[in-house]
């Protein structure tokens, strides 16, 4: 056997085929390293939003964050379903990380002068993933051919659309990218609903953990926003109090998600599983946006009222996150067993979301806005714990 053949046999193995799911797989250190790059990408996008809190800035952030989330989703699912602990997988993960580092460089100005280089890098990233998914299809069984062909078609269309968008003005380029996001969101449900299509995604414990880790990544943006706002403010009593209350909103995100929506897989039904996957987009995007809002909230702590754009961004982010968590809770595998607990808690989440929007409309002084949001989220948690104790579900819900 030649040295090249021996190398390929030991270190350059083909990807795992569809259906070869490792049920007891744990998240690897390489995956943790990969996710770390997304900390930088999301942080740069949130930094841009913090400096442009308006309809245009929010819209651009929503598109850019969604593109980032789609990139993370595709990279994560490929590793989960087809990755191995050998040289080939590591090589292509590092290639993705190189491209993501460049993506972080250009994402701050992707809505303007850096739109073309951002689009070029994103197109190359999608092209790498398309190649990886194509190598999986080369060894697919007949039962997976139809679904993988449609999936690859979506990848290729995304590459083409992003490539063509490079020749458009900045405003139209952003609209084209929004179209790519919409295609992925709608297309995932259409692909799942198609008769005869076999969907190979299985939500294992390791995939649930990866989603939880991504939530932790965006929660870090709340901390960064608070620290950044305090560093640039007068650091008086009002500013510090507003910052600490803002950080407590981040705590509330954590306990609500991990107590009720996170750490548990969805029911093993294609459409339900897809809702669980997609619902993480509004949850994570809104948490990162709240982190961006913290900067302005703290800097304006001494004013007579919170600027309308800041108030709506923060309160709207809280409401959107709660709505996404309600969708997730309704998909959980143990929802039927815990309906007596999870159904009323879901309704309480919706009510809290409405209260958050009302507070955004009223736009009181920053410390009061943050404090009232903390009170509303705390009331949600207290109610949930009361229901928890009443139905005796703590041993079933916690791990």
Over range 234-258, report the average pLDDT: 93
pLDDT at 3: 67
Q: Which residues form the domain of 283?
A: 205-397
Helix, strand or coil for residue 146?
Answer: helix
Alpha-carbon dihedral sign for residues 289, 290, 296, 299: negative
Alpha carbon 374 to its chain centroid, in Å, reads: 23
Same domain, 230 and 348: yes
Structural domain includes residue 379: yes
Residue tagged 């009181």 (tokens): 364
Q: How far is CA 95 from CA 121, 126, 152, 214, in A?
A: 12, 12, 20, 20
Structural domain includes residue 200: no
270 or 99, greater pLDDT: 99
For 9-51, write each residue's pLDDT tens digit. 667 778 887 777 787 788 889 999 999 999 999 999 999 999 8
Same domain, 257 and 289: yes
Same domain, 257 and 308: yes
User: Which among 327, 333, 334 has a CA at the least distance from the CA of 350?
Assistant: 327
Same domain, 142 and 251: no
Q: Which two tokens stand for residue 76?
A: 């994560």
Structural domain includes residue 14: no
Structural domain includes residue 141: yes
pLDDT value at 195 more than 50 = no
Structural domain includes residue 22: no
Structural domain includes residue 57: yes
Q: Do the beta carbons of residue 158 and residue 183 sit within 8 Å?
A: yes
**Which percentage of the chain shows pLDDT scores above 90?**
62
Same domain, 332 and 364: yes
Same domain, 256 and 138: no
Same domain, 160 and 292: no
Same domain, 296 and 229: yes
User: Which among 75, 175, 159, 176 has a CA at the least distance from the CA of 120?
Assistant: 159
Same domain, 97 and 166: yes
Structural domain includes residue 13: no
pLDDT at 253: 95
Q: Which among 139, 170, 193 is the end of a domain?
A: 193
Q: Which among 193, 226, 256 is the end of a domain?
A: 193
Question: Over the chain, what is the mean pLDDT?
Answer: 89
Band of residue 399 on the pLDDT scale cut at 50, 70, 90: very low
Same domain, 96 and 167: yes
Band of residue 332 on the pLDDT scale cut at 50, 70, 90: very high
Alpha-carbon gap, residue 236 to 242, rounded angstroms: 10
Same domain, 172 and 225: no
Q: Where are the beta strands (DSSP E) in 181-334?
A: none
Same domain, 170 and 209: no
Q: Which among 169, 193, 217 is the end of a domain?
A: 193
Tell me how many domains the chain contains: 2
């Amino acid at each position: 056997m030649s040295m090249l053949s021996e190398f390929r046999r030991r270190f350059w193995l083909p990807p795992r085929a569809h259906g070869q799911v490792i049920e007891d797989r744990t998240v690897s250190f390489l995956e943790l390293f990969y996710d770390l790059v997304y900390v930088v990408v999301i942080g740069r996008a949130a930094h841009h939003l913090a400096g442009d809190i308006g309809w245009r800035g929010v819209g651009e952030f929503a598109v850019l964050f969604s593109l980032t989330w789609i990139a993370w989703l595709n990279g994560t699912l490929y590793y989960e379903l087809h990755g191995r602990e050998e040289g080939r997988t590591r090589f292509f993960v590092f290639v993705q990380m190189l491209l993501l580092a460049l993506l972080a460089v250009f994402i701050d100005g992707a809505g303007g002068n850096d739109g073309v280089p951002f689009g070029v890098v994103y197109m190359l990233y999608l092209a790498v993933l398309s190649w990886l998914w194509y190598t999986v299809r080369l060894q697919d069984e007949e039962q997976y051919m139809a679904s993988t062909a449609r999936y690859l078609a979506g990848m290729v269309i995304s590459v083409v659309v992003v490539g063509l968008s490079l020749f458009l003005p900045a405003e139209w380029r952003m609209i084209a990218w929004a179209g790519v996001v919409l295609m992925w969101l709608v297309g995932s449900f259409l692909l799942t609903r198609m008769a005869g299509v076999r969907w190979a995604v299985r939500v294992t414990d390791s995939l649930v953990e990866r989603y939880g880790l991504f939530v932790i990544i965006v929660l870090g943006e709340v901390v960064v926003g608070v620290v950044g706002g305090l560093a640039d403010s007068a650091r008086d009593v009002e500013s510090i109090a507003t910052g600490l209350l803002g950080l407590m909103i981040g705590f509330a995100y954590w306990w609500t998600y991990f107590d009720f929506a996170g750490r548990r897989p969805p029911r093993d039904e294609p459409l339900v599983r897809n809702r669980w996957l997609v619902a993480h987009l509004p949850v994570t995007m809104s948490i990162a946006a709240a982190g961006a809002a913290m900067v302005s909230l703290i800097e304006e702590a001494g004013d007579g009222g919170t600027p309308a754009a800041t108030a709506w961004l923060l309160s709207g982010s809280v409401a959107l996150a709660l709505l996404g968590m309600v969708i997730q809770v309704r998909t959980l595998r143990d929802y039927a067993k815990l309906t007596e607990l999870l159904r009323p808690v879901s309704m309480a989440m919706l009510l809290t979301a409405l209260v958050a929007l009302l507070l955004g409309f009223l736009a009181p002084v920053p410390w009061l806005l943050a404090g009232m949001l903390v009170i509303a989220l705390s009331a949600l948690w207290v109610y949930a714990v009361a229901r928890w104790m009443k139905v005796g579900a703590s041993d079933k819900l916690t791990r």
